[in-house]
Amino acid sequence: MTAFLFGVLSSLAASGIALVLGLLRGSRPLWWLVSACSWCTGTGLGRVYRNQSSAEGDVARDLGRARWVKVLAGRGNVLTREVFCPVWSGERPLESLQILLPDPTARNDSWLDRRSHDVCRFDPGFTPSLLRSQVQSNLDYLARISRSQRHFELHSFNLPNTCRVIATDRAAYITFYSSSAHGRNSPCLYARSPGLLYSIALQQFDSAWADSSPVRSAS
Protein backbone atom coordinates (compact mmCIF):
# COMPACT_ATOMS: atom_id res chain seq x y z
CA MET A 1 0.00 0.00 0.00
CA THR A 2 2.85 2.40 0.86
CA ALA A 3 4.53 1.74 -2.48
CA PHE A 4 1.24 2.31 -4.30
CA LEU A 5 0.60 5.63 -2.55
CA PHE A 6 4.18 6.71 -3.22
CA GLY A 7 3.74 5.91 -6.89
CA VAL A 8 0.53 7.92 -7.13
CA LEU A 9 2.02 10.91 -5.31
CA SER A 10 5.14 10.76 -7.47
CA SER A 11 3.04 10.78 -10.62
CA LEU A 12 1.00 13.74 -9.42
CA ALA A 13 4.16 15.63 -8.45
CA ALA A 14 5.76 14.92 -11.82
CA SER A 15 2.63 16.09 -13.61
CA GLY A 16 2.59 19.30 -11.57
CA ILE A 17 6.24 20.00 -12.31
CA ALA A 18 5.71 19.42 -16.02
CA LEU A 19 2.73 21.75 -16.03
CA VAL A 20 4.69 24.52 -14.31
CA LEU A 21 7.59 24.11 -16.73
CA GLY A 22 5.20 24.22 -19.64
CA LEU A 23 3.61 27.41 -18.37
CA LEU A 24 6.97 29.04 -17.80
CA ARG A 25 8.57 28.00 -21.04
CA GLY A 26 5.69 27.18 -23.38
CA SER A 27 8.17 25.45 -25.70
CA ARG A 28 7.57 22.40 -27.86
CA PRO A 29 10.51 20.35 -26.47
CA LEU A 30 8.71 20.15 -23.13
CA TRP A 31 5.47 18.83 -24.60
CA TRP A 32 6.73 15.25 -24.62
CA LEU A 33 7.39 15.52 -20.88
CA VAL A 34 3.93 16.96 -20.23
CA SER A 35 2.37 14.15 -22.28
CA ALA A 36 4.34 11.45 -20.48
CA CYS A 37 3.30 12.71 -17.03
CA SER A 38 -0.26 13.13 -18.26
CA TRP A 39 -0.34 9.51 -19.38
CA CYS A 40 0.79 8.39 -15.91
CA THR A 41 -1.89 10.42 -14.12
CA GLY A 42 -4.72 9.98 -16.62
CA THR A 43 -5.33 13.72 -16.97
CA GLY A 44 -5.00 13.68 -20.77
CA LEU A 45 -2.97 16.91 -20.78
CA GLY A 46 -0.96 16.93 -23.99
CA ARG A 47 0.40 20.46 -24.39
CA VAL A 48 0.52 23.80 -22.62
CA TYR A 49 0.55 27.08 -24.57
CA ARG A 50 1.82 30.25 -22.94
CA ASN A 51 -1.26 32.08 -24.27
CA GLN A 52 -4.29 30.99 -26.22
CA SER A 53 -3.34 32.90 -29.38
CA SER A 54 -0.25 30.69 -29.78
CA ALA A 55 -2.56 27.65 -30.00
CA GLU A 56 -4.58 28.92 -32.96
CA GLY A 57 -2.58 27.07 -35.63
CA ASP A 58 -3.16 23.75 -33.87
CA VAL A 59 -6.81 24.63 -33.22
CA ALA A 60 -7.36 25.25 -36.94
CA ARG A 61 -5.71 21.93 -37.79
CA ASP A 62 -7.91 20.01 -35.36
CA LEU A 63 -11.05 21.81 -36.55
CA GLY A 64 -10.22 20.66 -40.08
CA ARG A 65 -10.24 17.04 -38.89
CA ALA A 66 -13.22 17.17 -36.52
CA ARG A 67 -16.47 15.26 -36.77
CA TRP A 68 -18.20 17.62 -34.32
CA VAL A 69 -17.30 20.88 -32.55
CA LYS A 70 -18.41 22.51 -29.30
CA VAL A 71 -17.41 26.07 -28.35
CA LEU A 72 -17.96 27.87 -25.04
CA ALA A 73 -16.50 31.39 -25.09
CA GLY A 74 -16.69 34.59 -23.10
CA ARG A 75 -16.59 36.89 -26.12
CA GLY A 76 -16.27 34.83 -29.31
CA ASN A 77 -13.74 36.86 -31.30
CA VAL A 78 -11.90 33.66 -32.30
CA LEU A 79 -15.02 32.54 -34.17
CA THR A 80 -14.65 35.41 -36.63
CA ARG A 81 -10.94 34.86 -37.32
CA GLU A 82 -9.10 32.65 -39.80
CA VAL A 83 -8.69 29.89 -37.24
CA PHE A 84 -12.33 28.92 -37.85
CA CYS A 85 -12.08 28.94 -41.66
CA PRO A 86 -12.06 25.09 -41.73
CA VAL A 87 -15.50 25.19 -40.10
CA TRP A 88 -17.12 27.97 -42.11
CA SER A 89 -15.73 26.84 -45.48
CA GLY A 90 -17.93 23.75 -45.45
CA GLU A 91 -15.20 21.65 -47.08
CA ARG A 92 -15.59 19.04 -44.36
CA PRO A 93 -19.24 18.98 -43.18
CA LEU A 94 -19.64 18.52 -39.44
CA GLU A 95 -22.05 16.13 -37.78
CA SER A 96 -22.86 18.91 -35.30
CA LEU A 97 -21.65 22.38 -34.37
CA GLN A 98 -22.71 23.91 -31.05
CA ILE A 99 -21.62 27.39 -30.00
CA LEU A 100 -22.29 29.12 -26.68
CA LEU A 101 -21.73 32.83 -26.05
CA PRO A 102 -22.89 35.07 -23.17
CA ASP A 103 -26.27 36.74 -23.50
CA PRO A 104 -25.61 40.45 -24.21
CA THR A 105 -29.22 41.35 -23.40
CA ALA A 106 -29.07 39.96 -19.85
CA ARG A 107 -29.20 42.59 -17.10
CA ASN A 108 -29.23 42.64 -13.30
CA ASP A 109 -25.59 41.88 -12.56
CA SER A 110 -25.00 39.58 -15.53
CA TRP A 111 -21.76 37.73 -16.10
CA LEU A 112 -20.82 40.23 -18.80
CA ASP A 113 -21.19 43.07 -16.31
CA ARG A 114 -18.88 41.34 -13.83
CA ARG A 115 -16.31 40.45 -16.48
CA SER A 116 -16.40 44.01 -17.84
CA HIS A 117 -15.73 45.32 -14.35
CA ASP A 118 -12.65 43.08 -14.07
CA VAL A 119 -11.27 44.08 -17.47
CA CYS A 120 -11.76 47.79 -16.83
CA ARG A 121 -9.32 47.55 -13.92
CA PHE A 122 -6.37 46.50 -16.08
CA ASP A 123 -7.35 47.80 -19.56
CA PRO A 124 -7.78 51.61 -19.56
CA GLY A 125 -9.35 51.53 -23.03
CA PHE A 126 -12.15 49.24 -21.92
CA THR A 127 -15.60 50.62 -21.10
CA PRO A 128 -18.40 48.77 -19.28
CA SER A 129 -20.50 48.52 -22.44
CA LEU A 130 -17.70 47.45 -24.80
CA LEU A 131 -17.74 43.73 -24.00
CA ARG A 132 -21.51 43.60 -24.38
CA SER A 133 -21.36 45.25 -27.81
CA GLN A 134 -18.53 42.96 -28.95
CA VAL A 135 -20.46 39.84 -27.98
CA GLN A 136 -23.55 41.15 -29.76
CA SER A 137 -21.53 41.78 -32.94
CA ASN A 138 -20.16 38.25 -32.84
CA LEU A 139 -23.64 36.81 -32.29
CA ASP A 140 -24.94 38.78 -35.28
CA TYR A 141 -22.07 37.46 -37.39
CA LEU A 142 -22.73 33.87 -36.34
CA ALA A 143 -26.49 34.19 -36.77
CA ARG A 144 -25.93 35.17 -40.40
CA ILE A 145 -23.48 32.33 -40.95
CA SER A 146 -25.96 29.86 -39.50
CA ARG A 147 -28.18 30.25 -42.58
CA SER A 148 -25.59 28.45 -44.72
CA GLN A 149 -24.44 25.91 -42.13
CA ARG A 150 -26.03 22.54 -41.51
CA HIS A 151 -26.31 21.07 -38.01
CA PHE A 152 -25.37 24.43 -36.46
CA GLU A 153 -26.87 25.48 -33.12
CA LEU A 154 -26.11 28.88 -31.60
CA HIS A 155 -27.10 29.51 -27.98
CA SER A 156 -26.56 32.25 -25.41
CA PHE A 157 -26.22 31.92 -21.63
CA ASN A 158 -26.03 34.01 -18.48
CA LEU A 159 -23.87 31.96 -16.14
CA PRO A 160 -20.48 32.43 -14.47
CA ASN A 161 -18.01 31.62 -17.23
CA THR A 162 -14.51 30.93 -16.01
CA CYS A 163 -12.97 29.38 -19.10
CA ARG A 164 -13.04 29.10 -22.88
CA VAL A 165 -13.54 25.64 -24.35
CA ILE A 166 -13.04 24.61 -27.98
CA ALA A 167 -13.73 20.88 -28.13
CA THR A 168 -13.85 18.29 -30.89
CA ASP A 169 -14.28 14.54 -30.87
CA ARG A 170 -10.48 14.26 -30.52
CA ALA A 171 -9.39 16.96 -28.09
CA ALA A 172 -10.24 20.14 -26.19
CA TYR A 173 -8.44 23.47 -25.89
CA ILE A 174 -9.12 25.05 -22.50
CA THR A 175 -8.27 28.60 -21.43
CA PHE A 176 -8.98 29.57 -17.82
CA TYR A 177 -9.91 33.24 -17.56
CA SER A 178 -8.08 35.48 -15.12
CA SER A 179 -9.54 38.52 -13.37
CA SER A 180 -6.35 40.44 -14.18
CA ALA A 181 -5.75 39.62 -17.87
CA HIS A 182 -7.51 39.24 -21.20
CA GLY A 183 -8.25 35.67 -22.20
CA ARG A 184 -5.89 35.94 -25.15
CA ASN A 185 -3.01 36.44 -22.72
CA SER A 186 -3.91 33.46 -20.52
CA PRO A 187 -2.34 29.98 -20.75
CA CYS A 188 -4.17 27.42 -22.89
CA LEU A 189 -4.25 23.69 -22.16
CA TYR A 190 -4.57 20.98 -24.80
CA ALA A 191 -6.44 17.94 -23.46
CA ARG A 192 -6.75 14.85 -25.59
CA SER A 193 -9.59 12.35 -25.59
CA PRO A 194 -9.98 10.27 -23.52
CA GLY A 195 -8.79 11.94 -20.35
CA LEU A 196 -9.90 13.67 -17.18
CA LEU A 197 -9.39 17.24 -18.44
CA TYR A 198 -11.20 16.46 -21.69
CA SER A 199 -14.17 15.05 -19.76
CA ILE A 200 -14.25 18.11 -17.49
CA ALA A 201 -14.22 20.43 -20.53
CA LEU A 202 -17.21 18.62 -22.05
CA GLN A 203 -19.05 18.67 -18.71
CA GLN A 204 -18.49 22.41 -18.46
CA PHE A 205 -19.93 22.89 -21.93
CA ASP A 206 -22.89 20.55 -21.42
CA SER A 207 -23.83 22.22 -18.12
CA ALA A 208 -23.90 25.65 -19.73
CA TRP A 209 -25.75 24.31 -22.78
CA ALA A 210 -28.50 22.83 -20.61
CA ASP A 211 -29.20 26.31 -19.16
CA SER A 212 -28.95 28.32 -22.39
CA SER A 213 -31.35 29.70 -24.99
CA PRO A 214 -31.29 29.51 -28.80
CA VAL A 215 -30.22 32.62 -30.70
CA ARG A 216 -32.55 33.29 -33.58
CA SER A 217 -31.13 34.01 -37.02
CA ALA A 218 -31.26 37.66 -38.05
CA SER A 219 -33.84 38.39 -40.73
Q: Report whether pLDDT(71) > 80.
A: yes
Mean pLDDT computed over every residue of the chain: 81
210 falls within a domain: yes
Domain containing 100 — which CATH number?
3.30.870.10
Please give the distance of CA 62 from its chain centroid, rounded to a whole number: 13
CB count, 10 Å around CB of 187? 20
pLDDT for 36 equals 52
Residues 77 and 21 in one domain: no
219 falls within a domain: no
Residues 161 and 86 in one domain: yes
Residue type present at position 144: R
Query: In which domain, by residue range, is 91 found?
Result: 46-214
Cβ pair 148, 154 in contact under 8 A: no
Per-residue model confidence as pLDDT tens digits over 43-67: 788 888 988 889 999 999 999 999 9
Helix (H) or strand (E) holding 134: helix 130-145
Residues 81 and 145 in one domain: yes
Residues 9 and 85 in one domain: no
pTM of the model: 0.80
Q: Which pLDDT band holds residue 7 (cuts at 50, 70, 90)? A: very low
Q: How many whole angstroms separate alpha carbon 180 and alpha carbon 90?
A: 37
Residues 125 and 22 in one domain: no
The domain total for the chain is 2
Q: Report whether pLDDT(37) > 80.
A: no
Residues 5 and 77 in one domain: no
Q: Report whether pLDDT(118) > 80.
A: yes
Q: Which pLDDT band holds residue 30 (cuts at 50, 70, 90)? A: low
CB count, 10 Å around CB of 135? 23
Please give the distance of CA 12 from its chain centroid, rounded to a whole number: 24
Mean pLDDT over 128-142 rounds to 91
